Structure 1
Amino acid sequence: MRAYQQFLEAKAPVAKPAGLLLDGVSVNALLKPHQDAIVRWAVNGGCRAIFAAFGLGKTNMQLETVRCVIEAVFAASAEAGFGLIVAPLGVRQEFMRDAATLGTKLTFIRSWEEAVAANAADPECRIFITNYETVRDGKIDPALFLATSLDEASCLRGFGGTKIFREFMRLFQNVRYKFVATATPSPNDYIELLAYAAYLGIMDVGEAKTRFFKRNSEKADQLVLHPHKEDEFWLWVSSWAIFLQKPSDLGFSDEGYDLPPMQVHWHEVKSDIRGREIERSGQHTLFRDAALGVVDAAREKRDSLKLRVDKMKEILTASPDDHFILWHDLEDERRAIEVAVCGVRSVYGAQDLAHREATIIEFSEGEFQHLAAKPVIAGSGCNFQRHCHKAIFLGIGFKFNDFIQAIHRILRFLQDKPVEIHIIFTENEREVRRKLVAKWKKHEHLVEKMSEIIRKYRLNEHAMAKALERSIGVERIEVRGDNFTCINNDNVIETHGMEENSVGLIVTSIPFSTQYEYTPSYNDFGHTDDDPHFWAQMDFLTPQLLRVLQPGRWACIHVKDRVIPGGLTGLGFQTLSTFHCDTIQHFRKHGFAFMGMKTIITDVVRENNQTYRLGWTEQCKDATKMGCGTPEYMLLFRKPQTDKSRSYADVPVVKAKKEWLAPALLGDEPALDEDGYPIGGDEPILDHDKGQWKNEAGYSRARWQIDAHAFARSSGERLLTAQEIQGIPAGRVFKIWKAYNLQSIYDFEHHVMLAEGLEMRGALPPTFMLMPPHSNHDDVWSDVTRMLTLNGAQHAKGKEMHLCPLQFDIVDRPINQLSNPGDLVLDPFGGLMTVPYRALKFGRRGVGIELNSGYFLDGVAHCKAMEAKMAMPSMFDYLGVRDEDPASDQPEGGAGTAEAAE
């Protein structure tokens, strides 16, 4: 087990330094002490993020970091290289000014050829600056540079959803030393932070999501930190990014670094609350709803434009001599500002880049009084503090990051005047204002959290690594009942001590690689870097599963393929992992024989709400980029039996045949075989009117033939019409459709017609699939009841629900088909102990192993309750009526239980 222990110890998630030391290279003496410390930390790391508050010298730190990397590499290996800084429009002059102060040669370029020519003319010219648009348009290949730094890397905020992000991931993939510098990465926007980590090569976004965040099964990319992982997450971020709010966070003096006071003025203007909209039902609205949605907010802005512009003019009139930045969101707002404010100049997307940049620079130099701009254009990187200390937001919106960036164009260290922020909104936007203020408070809280970590650990990566060390193993707890055993432990360690050939059946849902992480422990299989790392840990477990399983018996492994974002593959569209195929190869590698798989149908509408990969709108735009729903699979493996001359298991799973007593025969009585067939004949010649069953509870040949063939004949009735199910509640429609779909000959176009009929009547739900295709084939399970899990009991008791609960239907079928009464059924990933819980239900013995202590304790309670239930005689036992079907308390498919859960 020593090898396993070493494997776990190597899991610490701290970003590893590149090991680039500044031997023989000195940091510019003009840098402030905090800037010097950060440059040394960044160079040593090789791929790092500098998140320094406005006015702390972010530009100086970038220039010096790139210079030191180039010189350190040359000193170590004589390898000459160039450095490239990529900056937003209007920021070039800031870099040029600071570079001149530092004595650093900096040249603006628009192509690689310009860089080569500049270096040929002056060999000291090795650091260059360009705009994002130049890189985006393919005029410069970043891979040709030794070191790069992205200033205000707003393109990375749209992780996976923007073309420019995917392009930058691809273009910078082979750059050896990468840096990101921005003043306000929003701690509210976890996706932004994960995008920075992915760009820098620290950790895959999907892995980071599952390692630190709760899963939202209704909405993709709504990330909520696990409470027990909050400290770990921010320590991990601090291992590759420095969030610096003031020099004293690193132990240096704050002299000269005091933010000016800021006053925020909220100006509410009246709204026209009369309703003008017509709802889907045809009803006219009397009063307009509060503008909460994006579409409603845009309409509210258009309708209130004149009132808001009048309020803006009133504010400007009260300060006739002050310079103002006028922030807006819509082009209509820009045009209204240009009409209302004399001498105002605007920057907007359709302008020539050079003209736009010149206008921004001229405003920052105080050459005119009023600038109108969108935060997305001039809200990042620009420094307006020297001549402007007042700003007006003509409206409010949902994008907090753009909002806070825009504020800090004037609220900065070294600003010598009090800052005034005027925010204009309508009374219908009070809820938008409330959400904006809440995000602002959360932003301040999380920034303080980061500052606290920096103050505690400074830039000591070793101390962070020690703080990030998780627990290895748990204190083993075992709870036994008469027919179950629940164990709180690492399953590799636990199965290593189990008796060989002791288990009759394995049923489990293995972690889907890095998809979910259930505990803050290095033992957790979800706490792995990627698929190969996950399978490396499974290499310790799977041989033990083979060892403890009885020869000839089965392991049923529940899996699902995972969605891979296009930004990670470089393809620009989402793809699927081959996880179920990888599982097959893994188990075969360790000696299991692959016997087949069951396909478990999932709801594609709910899946799209989680992944955004199957959207109807995108399907209409281009069907070629779309995939299909990802079903789950139950993979079936068998441990080879001891006697290879026979195919039977060492201990077969035997089913009693459902047999009939030989009836009266017509004519002469031929010799019959054991199944009642005449010896040498093809058909039985029995008088079935006089036959009778010997044992009603057995498994009949007829049932086997129907199960094996898996087709249901048409009832001969006419096709169902959409009108007949209009107005019926959705739950009832689902049941009607299922029964009809399974009993009739399937017609694809008729299926579409029915669904379209419901859609036209507004009765097709957008949140789940009301009319999925059902199947009677025994290798496709379309009737698994999703709500029928132990999470129902967890929710009823107010306890934590499992991230990925296993449905009863998935567990029950292999237990009944592939094990004998009294067999030991094992689940090495026990969770809430669904497998031992259901094993008890069907007269088997259950063993569950679970690392998460909370799940383990809840699972023990469930198993104890089931064991008590099975031991308690019912009224029917007293009456002498026995329940022949141990699952008879559920309607077929579990629909009744699902309704109860609802």
Structure 2
Amino acid sequence: MGYLAFLKRKMDIAPETGFDIDISEVNPALKPHQRTAVVWGIKGGRRAIFKSWGLGKTIVNLEICRIIQKHKGGKALIVLPLGVKQEFLRDAVRILGMEPPQYVRNMAEIYATTTDILLTNYERVRDGDIDPTYFTVCTLDEAAVLRSYGSDTYQTFMIKFKGVKYKFAFTATPSPNRLKELIHYAAFLEIMDSGQALTRFFQRDSTKANNLTLYPHHEDEFWLWCSSWALWITQPSDLGPEYSDEGYDLPPLEVRYHEIQVDRELYVTDRDGRMKIQDDEVVSLPDAMKEKRRSIDERVVKMAEIVNENPDDHFILWHDLEDERKAIKKALPDMVDIYGSQDYEIREQRVIDFSDGKFRLFGTKKELSGSGCNFQRHCHREVFLGIDYEFEDFIQAIHRVLRFLQTEKVIIDIIHTSRERRILQVLLKKWELHKYQVKRMTDIIKKYGLSSTSMMEKMSRTMGVKRVEVKGKNFTAVNNDCILEFERLPDNYFDLLHTSIPFGNHYEYSASYNDFGFNPDTEAFLEQMDYLSPNLLRTLKPGRVFACHVKDRVLFGNTTGDGFPTMEPFHALCIQHYMKHGFRYFGMITVVTDVVRENNQTYRLGWSECCKDGTKMGVGCPEYILLFRKLPSDTSNAYADVPVVKSKEEYTRAQWQIDAHALWRSSGNRLLTKKELLDISVNKLQAAYTKYSRETVYSYAEHVEISKKLDEDGKLPGSFMVVAPGSWTDQVWDDILRFKTLNAKQTQKRLQNHVCPIQIDIPERIINRYTNPGELVGDPFGGLMTIPNVALDLGRKGWGCELASNYFRDGVGYLQAADADVRVPSLFDFFGEEMEDLG
């Protein structure tokens, strides 16, 4: 396969696994936009349909099931929330003229059914014996449960529905909290694995796990990718001007906020009996729950006041706690309520009766009636007795009455206390984000239509880069795909190749399909590396070194299905790869990392989980510098064609012996005592303990004892490790400064940081060890040009190639500054040999 063909294979347009139907096959009772959604969904085969409230999501769901079952046989299963069954039965009979779907509880009932379309609840699938693979087509109604990545429902559904040929997800609120939740639908539909999609589109926070944000340069591509498998419709005209919005105007919305003033106790006692000052506003979930319970009476009084002032209006009274329900019932005896322990048939009938306008006040929880129920025919008022952080439930609840075909102005009353202002701010911020997401998707559909071909053409424009070369006296920097650039270089060009390669598909560095990080898995990454590695070997001088910086990768259990994190031995795979291409592997340097910081990024070594079961705990993940040589022309003595020579006057036998034995000796100061170590301030403790560890015979028991004492004294932070053991060998580097990277300068200049910068200490040591002054050091993955930069600082010449134009531009700036420093003459340069004579 040619390289261009390989790159084109990367384009991530969701595959079409369904079949074509003529639009005349769709029930004429459907509106034009609904018929288009049916045809699009069936052609895709595995798709998400995100339709705003009142646009006919239920009948589109039913019609897709009917047509697929008609063409492919078997049975269809629709999974829906509690209390929604009546909506499907009503629409199937009244609108579509279909035989009413049957509700089933288990496989025995499924085998006994006589209809082709069946209904069940999420709980029946998650906790029961229902096997989705028995069905030809499965759909999820109100599929927002898939957003909860680590939940039992998500994990169970991922496994149970795997392999179902035709499957669909329907909801009006696909991602109200964070953009990354959208990819969970793609994983369920088997469009792309969640871990792969997270890596591709989202950047990580190096201090906190799961704090992922969308790469700014990937935003357009992300939305194009989403629109290849998900259809977002807020109104019919989103599909094009030929679709009429007549009858689909949402009613006016008025949101009224009622703040209950509450007094705050200045001091409170925590669960350990310690006194602390209480904040003016609640933030944490436990404090929010306490505030909710403490203010029930005041909030219920306000709710009753609102209801009694409007005796002709029907109201939904939303609450979250059983104590709230009881307090409302006491204040408003006419309220008809439902609750979780109530008989299901009673709950369902009360929902239907309120929907039909048979009583005025309906008390319920968002988890029971917030999804799927249509109350707009007789109700336009809602009161929220309280608020919380769950925006999905909140927005779904509002749209039980704020729907198309609502004829009245919708009024929403929200009651909260003065200490819950911050929670309200979070809810409103999420509301704005939801509106933004919907607009982005609908704008793309309006621009490109529903054709995957036009989307692919747009996405392919991110392929390639216009080559730019910048040269200085001591450096060359190239903005290009390194594979294409290395093809241009002559044989035996570099004295040292040193780089930090992309860690498989762990990070992405640019919006280009040429990016090595833009691959579905490690296998594909190494396949792309196959185009580069032969030229790395060819351009390296005989006998010289290729030093490759890598790191193993964490494979999370919810991605692999193992249930616990495992490790991909990426460094071993790289050794195998480069040996395959002719390099001789001759050593590896280990760079230790801070296990506490690593756990904050991955949560894979959590203290609490390891206390529950020690078998789950692995170890920290170090970095490695893999050392390879190109065979010299003369293998009889194994010297490089141009050897790296050290003067014995400068590099003495004494220094060689110490380096060879890798012993760390005391500089003459006496060793710290354990008591002195414990008394050192936290900010100096890390360096002090490393020195103590190197120079003292190691004792595991003493190490634990010191750590325990520090913890008791509050000097064992949770953000970094202060008592990491020191290394006794030059094959393990424990003193690499994690923050000593060019990102420090990027931050100072307010420029974009590199997602994975190499620490400056590493190339300093590698270049000093494996090159002579004045030689050429090359880096195929230049990034911010750290390695060429260090080469200049050490009196060598630097060469770097970088694909991302923004990194290239910033890296050239650093190289030009370093090159100027190299060329600036000192005072002694003006005197030349005269100064030597004076000496």
TM range (shorter): over 0.9
Choose the corresponding residue for 2:801, options 824, 831, 849. Answer: 849
Residue 145 in 1 paired to residue 145 in 2? Answer: no
Q: Secondary structure in 2 aligned to 1:224?
A: strand
Distance in 2 between the 1:467 and 1:536 partners?
A: 25
Q: Does 1:36 align with 2:35?
A: yes
Shift of 1:204: 2.0
Conservation of the 8 A alpha-carbon contact between 1:722 and 1:755: no
Tell me if structure 2 keeps the 8 A contact 1:111–1:139: yes
Asked if 1:182 corresponds to 2:134, the answer is no
Instruction: Determine the C-alpha separation between the residues in 2 that align with 1:782 and 1:383.
Output: 63
Percent identity between matched residues is 50
| Superposition RMSD in Å | 2.6
Aligned pairs for 1:420-819 within 5 A: 420-657=411-648, 695=649, 697-698=650-651, 700-712=652-664, 720-721=673-674, 725-726=678-679, 728-819=680-771
One-letter amino acid of the counterpart of residue 100, structure 1:
V
Residue 326 of structure 1 aligns to a residue whose secondary structure is strand
Give the aligned residue type for 1:299.
K
What does residue 302 of structure 1 align with? 293
CA shift in 2, pair 1:417/1:587, >3 Å = same
Query: What residue in structure 2 maps to residue 663 of structure 1?
Result: none
Single out whichever of 547-556 and 711-720 deviates more from structure 2: 711-720
CA contact (8 A) 1:395 1:423 kept: yes
State how 1:44-55 maps to structure 2 within 5 Å.
44-55=43-54
Which residue does the alignment assign to 1:216?
A: 205
Q: CA deviation at 1:462?
A: 1.9
Aligned equivalents of 1:795 and 1:280: distance in 2? Answer: 41
* Residue segments in structure 1 that go unaligned for 5+ positions in a row: 75-79, 120-124, 658-694, 882-902
- Counterparts in 2 of 1:149-228, with a 5 A limit? 149-159=139-149, 161-186=150-175, 188-228=177-217
Partner of 1:83: 76
The residue type paired with residue 723 of structure 2 is M
Deviation at 1:25, TM superposition (A): 8.1
- Cα–Cα, structure 1 residues 338 and 856, in superposed 2: closer, same or farther, change >3 Å? same
Q: Of 810, 819, 828, which aligns to 1:858?
A: 810
Asked if 2 retains the 8 angstrom alpha-carbon contact of 1:501 and 1:547, the reply is yes
Contact 1:87 1:152 in 2 (8 A): yes
Q: 1:359 to 1:592 in 2, by over 3 A?
A: farther
Q: Give the SS at the match of 2:210.
A: coil
Distance 1:410 1:232, change over 3 A: same
Measure, in 2, the Cα distance between the counterparts of 1:329 and 1:768: 39
Letter in 1 for 2:92: A
CA contact (8 A) 1:165 1:567 kept: no
Compute the TM-score of the two structures, normalised by the length of structure 1: 0.87
Confirm or deny: 8 A CA contact 1:325 1:370 kept in the other structure. yes
Q: CA deviation at 1:437?
A: 1.8
How far the C-alpha of 1:44 sits from its partner, in A, is 0.4
Deviation at 1:594, TM superposition (A): 2.1
**Contact 2:176/2:430, CA 8 A, preserved across alignment:** no
C-alpha separation in 1, matches of 2:363 and 2:724: 52
Consecutive unaligned residues of structure 2, counting only runs of 5 or more, are 834-839
The yes-or-no answer on 1:109 pairing with 2:104 is yes
**1:232 corresponds to which residue?**
221
Which of residues 93, 100, 112 is equivalent to 1:100? 93
In 2, Cα distance between the equivalents of 1:303 and 1:502?
75
**Amino acid in structure 1 at the alignment position of 2:742:** L
**Aligned equivalents of 2:132 and 2:20: distance in 1?**
23
Asked whether the 8 Å contact 1:206–1:515 carries over to 2, the reply is: no
Range moving further from structure 2, 315-324 or 824-833: 315-324
- SS of the aligned residue for 2:207 comes to coil
Q: Which moved more, 1:625-634 or 1:549-558?
A: 625-634
Please tell me whether residue 131 in structure 1 is matched to residue 130 in structure 2.
no
Give the SS at the match of 1:169.
Answer: helix
Distance 2:615 2:350 in 1: 43
SS of 1:391's equivalent in the other structure is strand
Report what 1:692 is aligned to.
Answer: none
Matched ranges for 1:308-347 at <5 A: 308-347=299-338
What corresponds to 2:69 in structure 1?
Answer: 70
1:249–1:458 contact (8 Å) kept in structure 2: no
Partner SS state of residue 2, structure 2 = helix
Q: CA deviation at 1:189?
A: 2.1
Deviation (angstroms), 1:782: 1.5
1:8 aligned partner: 7
Cα deviation 1:633-669 (Å, max 9, x = unaligned): 2222222233344433333222222xxxxxxxxxxxx
Note the alpha carbon deviations across 1:659-711, whole angstroms, 9 max, x for none: xxxxxxxxxxxxxxxxxxxxxxxxxxxxxxxxxxxx2x21x333333333334
**What is the identity, as a one-letter code, of the residue corresponding to 1:403?**
F
Report the 3-state secondary structure (helix = DSSP H, G, I; strand = E; otherwise coil) of the residue aligned with 1:518. coil
Distance in 1, matches of 2:695 and 2:741, equals 27
Aligned amino acid, residue 150 of structure 1:
L
Kindly provide the CA deviation profile for residues 318-337 of structure 1, in whole angstroms up to 9, marking residues without a partner as x: 23343322223344434443
Deviates more, 1:301-310 or 1:641-650: 641-650
How much has 1:94 moved relative to structure 2? 1.0
**Amino acid of the residue matched to residue 440 of structure 1?**
W
Cα deviation digits, residues 102-139 of structure 1 (max 9, x gap):
133422112233223224xxxxx222111111110141
Structure 2 CA distance, aligned partners of 1:609 and 1:379? 35
Instruction: Give the deviation of 1:293 after TM superposition.
Output: 2.4
Distance 1:335 1:556 in 2: 70
Change (3 A) 1:506 1:279: farther
Q: Which stretch of structure 1 is more off in the superposition, 48-57 or 340-349?
A: 340-349
Q: Distance in 2 between matches of 1:338 and 1:617?
A: 42
Partner of 2:385: 394
Alignment-derived partner of residue 677 in structure 1: none
Give the CA deviation at 1:507.
Answer: 1.1
| Greater Cα shift, 613-622 or 390-399 | 613-622
Query: Partner amino acid for 1:797?
Result: K
Work out whether residues 389 and 420 of structure 1, in 8 Å CA contact, stay in contact via their aligned partners in 2. yes
Given that 1:802 and 1:831 are in contact with CA atoms closer than 8 Å, whether structure 2 keeps it comes out as: yes
Q: How far apart are the structure 2 equivalents of 1:408 and 1:825? A: 62
Question: What's the CA shift for 1:831?
Answer: 0.3
Q: 1:143 to 1:272 in 2, by over 3 A?
A: same
CA distance in 1, matches of 2:375, 2:609: 41
Deviations 1:266-311 (A, max 9, x none): 0001122222225899985555342122233223223323222222
Mapped to 2, the partners of 1:732 and 1:282 lie a distance apart of: 32
Cα contact 1:517–1:525 (8 A) shared by 2: yes
Aligned to 1:666: none
Q: Distance in 2 between matches of 1:281 and 1:376?
A: 33
Asked if 1:118 is matched to 2:121, the reply is no
Describe the SS at the equivalent of 1:179. Answer: strand
Once the 2 structures are TM-superposed, how far is the Cα of residue 246 of structure 1 from its aligned partner? 0.6
The more displaced of 486-495 and 791-800 is: 791-800
AA of the residue aligned to 2:370: G
- Cα offset, 1:368, TM superposition: 4.3
Deviation at 1:445, TM superposition (A): 2.5
SS of 1:90's equivalent in the other structure is coil
State the alpha-carbon separation in 1 of the partners of residues 583 and 603 from structure 2: 36
Instruction: Provide Cα deviations, 1:514-567, integer angstroms capped at 9, x if missing partner.
Output: 221121111111122222221221111111111111222221111122222322
Structure 1 contact 25–71 (Cα < 8 Å) conserved: no
Q: Work out the CA distance in 1 between the residues paired with 2:642 and 2:319.
A: 76
Which residue of structure 1 lines up, in the alignment, with residue 253 of structure 2? 262
Aligned to 2:836: none
Q: Contact conserved, 2:493 with 2:540, CA < 8 A, in 1?
A: yes
